[in-house]
Chain A
């Protein structure tokens, strides 16, 4: 009876799982049942196109099962299992496969005036939005990001996020207030009915639901006439003002991203959360006082001066955000690199830093173009904020990046300025062109981009990508490895941004551990192959919104199933690895030593045969299995190398040589940077390796210090 019940229960579970999978895979028909959207009797807004397959702004997600926004609109949860995506294929190893343009979903036309004395923006314009999902929409979700800085009760300001940027007190609050929100096609004023607060967060006004009087059918377009007033905060996390410097980021009312399955990817603005939006075109005209230099997303289309004001119009298509900066003290350098007009805006006295950044951006452009597909825009603006506005630095927007660093840092032998420039440029691909969801899967942009940054920096500054000082050559991969181990080994990387309890968890896992995982894969399978895998992913999903499965599938296609399994374990499941030499022994003689024959009269002397034998036991702790080399080194320096595929957790290797087994080393070139502990990778059998070099260096430094303190 019990056995029968078990069988029935198993069958029921199988049926249920099949049903769930079938529902997840089945595209929703274009134009849902009328009762899905029409609540107040109005005619639904007709669509002009059905949904097509894919992940782009005009398509249906192949893995809708990964939707992660909580039903109550609250903070997101870790994504669930997903369906394997379609193969990408070698076609995407070449730029010929790149799409020319993104499908526009949310396009913005703004006329905005900046008052640099009051730090206020007043803007009006239109948002043209297309319901690119397969589901009729009865509501919009609008992000009013600047309200995150309105008071201490917002999600941004009230959520503990120690160890992360943006923690300093504000001397001036920031806010944005809608003055008009009118839907043309619906002929409806939406402002009156819009929610005032983020769902479930009465103190927050960054995530606003805007009910629609009638549904907007899939493929239909809605034009919103918008007017708003905004006040920039004193400079804080990525935005704000300091003196006359202004960084206008997240400054306008912005539609949340609508996924192809009809789900809005909306969220209250959290300290760790960055941004995610649909692609579109931006047409932004900015008024500032004449003395102000402006840097903005897109290319300058026109400029006119009147009444002490300068009006500049910027245009850019195929992007999903727009930021600008204005300062009356900016210095400027510009140069055409790789067909891109690169412009650097920087404070007085930072000429050397600007030169270095232009150089790194130029070299990184070459590297990223070759690896991940050509940069499709005509301009790139690099903004180095003044020291007092350092919090505005280190951020990416389409065709505009902000950098940072002290003016003297470029003379110090460390690469901090170069690293930031390469990192932010890399975001033009991993965030800009491959527009992953930065809130749900921050590792997909920050993590992959950190690896891309290491890859570019290592190409430019081999083995000195973090610092190139006399006698001290530090690679960025080593630094990221060290930082990645600042948190527990089994912490999961693939979490949504708000799920990280501390800034150090977010930084160590999202940035450093992801980069370390990918760098390890590159070291093991070849950096060129790794670049090819990530390049295939980047080209295939340009102008789209891929998810973790798409990335891992691309890795698997190029590097193999073993690499895909390792990356899945390390990125999605908290997998880790520690290779260790558990035991190593050696003894004289071998099976050839002794008496042989019957009767045993044949005496074999070990001196004429392999006189030394030995054995080592190696262990792979943790779930991540990556192949490694194992070196058995004789006391006379002879070396035997063995490949350990590491599929099994324990390996026993034998030594037979002309000298005693001296040392055993697993992964001698430190290819698997993910390895938790490198100090147990080597074991001396009898004689330990010398430590006299360390003693010499340490005593020299101590002697020099003594010279300073002793009479």
Chain B
């Protein structure tokens, strides 16, 4: 069959590195770029329609003083709800559909040798149920992590009767704590994701493994995630800033910003891949043995109906499971 993961051979944990799979990193970037263009197209189209009568085209929008940019905002204001709804729908869809390229990237990093696209995608698609459930639960947990400290801070502010700037500082502390907790939940979520994909676990087992892995190596997990996240922010900010320093008009002033922006986005995807590789290594190297978790990995046979021999073998390893 086309989507089969039978021939995939796990790589040694120490060799699970993103740079070994540049093609897959580029593919994920390409997928995201397509989605970004889908979101940006109507916005740019609306903007372009309003300034295309000018010989300088959309360069008018970037002049100092922003007369035309403000004019665009004013004239296009009625379109904003529709464009926002459309972008929101694409983002929501991307969050779910994007699980496939993410899982494919994890599969590619976690396995050695030349890989067939079909095999990788097959393995990735296989875990979609667990990954989607993980995503939903993680979103709920992260929302709670974000909101609870903020509400707590508001309660303290009200109780203490604080005024700015103390009020704002307390609120900021609440937000920072909330974001930090949400990031911790995100790290556990990622560990559970890679465990689900690499070890082919179901939802509960993946969560358990993610938590256990985090518990055993939270320093490396948090450090690995936070360092790359900070670097990602820096890369994106640098990409933005460099382009703002370029002249708006002249030779290469359309192509060069595009290149710089896309390089920044590509690096961001590479850093994400690097983190997923690090998460894989943590799961593989630091995760408890399966027997400790009372888990049984799903094997290749799950892709097709199990044969009687396979069922018997499984039953012999763990009575009561089929």
> Which residues of chain A have a CB within 8 Å of any CB of chain B?
347-350, 386-388, 406-408, 462-464, 470-475, 477-479, 481-482, 485, 581, 631, 633, 637, 662-663, 665, 668, 670, 673, 677-684, 688-707, 709-711
Q: Are B55 and A475 in touch, CB under 8 angstroms?
A: no
B66 touches A694 (CB 8 A): no
Interchain CA distance A684-B54 in the complex, whole Å? 7
Among B160-168, B283-291, B296-304, the stretch in contact with A: B160-168
Contact A474 B70 (CB under 8 A): yes
Give complex CA distance A422, B321 in Å. 77
Query: Are B254 and A690 within 8 A (Cβ)?
Result: yes
**Which of the residues B62, B74, B261 comes within 8 Å of A700, measured between beta carbons?**
B261
Asked if B66 contacts A478 (CB within 8 A), the reply is yes
Let me know if B71 is at the binding interface, CB within 8 A. yes
Min C-beta distance of A379 to chain B, whole Å: 28
CA distance A481 to B43 in the complex (A): 23
Interface secondary structure of B, over-half rule:
helix
Known: A387-B163, A472-B66. A688 touches B135 (CB 8 A): no
Query: Which of A348, A633, A700 has the most chain B CB within a 10 Å cutoff?
Result: A700
What is the CA–CA distance of A475 and B69 in the complex, to the nearest angstrom? 11
| A-chain residues with CB within 8 Å of residue B236 when the two chains form the complex | 704, 707
**Inter-subunit contact A678/B265 (CB<8 Å):** no
**Separation of A150 and B147 alpha carbons in the complex (Å):** 41
**Is the contact region of chain A dominated by helix, strand, or loop, or is it mixed?**
mixed
Instruction: For residue B116, give the distance in angstroms from its CB to the closest CB of chain A.
Output: 23
Does the CB pair A698–B265 fall under 8 Å?
no
Return the contact of A694 from the options B48, B75, B239 (Cβ within 8 A). B48
Q: Are A475 and B67 in contact (CB under 8 A)?
A: yes
| B53 x A681 contact (CB < 8 A) | yes
A696 B168 Cβ-Cβ under 8 A = no
Apart from A678-B67, A694-B61, A705-B91, list 13 A-B contacts with CB within 8 A.
A407-B168, A408-B168, A470-B240, A485-B74, A670-B67, A681-B54, A696-B258, A697-B261, A701-B40, A703-B32, A706-B39, A707-B236, A711-B135
Indicate if B5 sits at the interface (CB-CB under 8 A).
Answer: no
- The answer to whether the Cβ of B185 comes within 8 Å of any Cβ in the partner chain is no
B163 contacts A695, C-beta separation under 8 Å: no
Smallest CB gap from B33: residue in A: A703
Chain B positions within 8 Å of A406 at CB level: 164, 168
Q: Is the CB of A710 within 8 A of B94?
A: yes
A693 touches B61 (CB 8 A): yes
C-alpha spacing A673/B55, complex, angstroms: 20
B136 contacts chain A at the CB level, 8 A cutoff: no
A406 CA / B165 CA spacing, docked (Å) = 8
B164 with A407: CB separation less than 8 A: yes
Q: How far is the CA of A693 from the CA of B63 in the complex (A)?
A: 13
Residues of B close to A387: CB separation below 8 A: 163-164, 167
The verdict on B11 contacting chain A, using a C-beta distance below 8 Å, is no
CA distance A463 to B165 in the complex (A): 30
B165 cross-chain contacts in A, Cβ below 8 A: 348-350, 407-408
A691 touches B33 (CB 8 A): no
Query: B95-103, B200-208, B215-223, B308-316: which one contacts chain A?
Result: B95-103
Contact with A along B45-61 (1 / 0, CB 8 A): 10110111111111111
Distance from A480 Cβ to chain B, minimum over Cβ atoms (Å): 10
B272 within 8 Å of A (CB atoms) = yes
Given the complex, which residues of A lie within 8 Å of B253, measured CB to CB? 693
CB of A345 to closest CB in B, whole Å? 16
**B69 to chain A: which residues have CB within 8 Å?**
474, 478
Cβ of B68 within 8 Å of any chain A Cβ, yes or no, is yes
Determine if B58 and A689 form an interchain contact, defined as CB atoms under 8 angstroms apart.
yes
Please judge, given known A-B contacts A387-B164, A690-B254, whether A711 and B55 are in contact too, CB under 8 Å.
no
Among residues of A, the one whose C-beta sits closest to the C-beta of B96 is: A711
Q: Is the CB of B36 within 8 A of A702?
A: yes
Docked CA distance A412–B244 (Å): 18
Nearest neighbor of A581 in chain B, beta-carbon distance:
B53
In the assembled complex, 14 residue pairs joining A and B whose CB atoms fall closer than 8 Å, in A order, are A347-B164, A462-B64, A478-B66, A481-B70, A482-B70, A482-B71, A670-B68, A682-B55, A688-B48, A690-B59, A697-B243, A698-B40, A700-B36, A711-B193
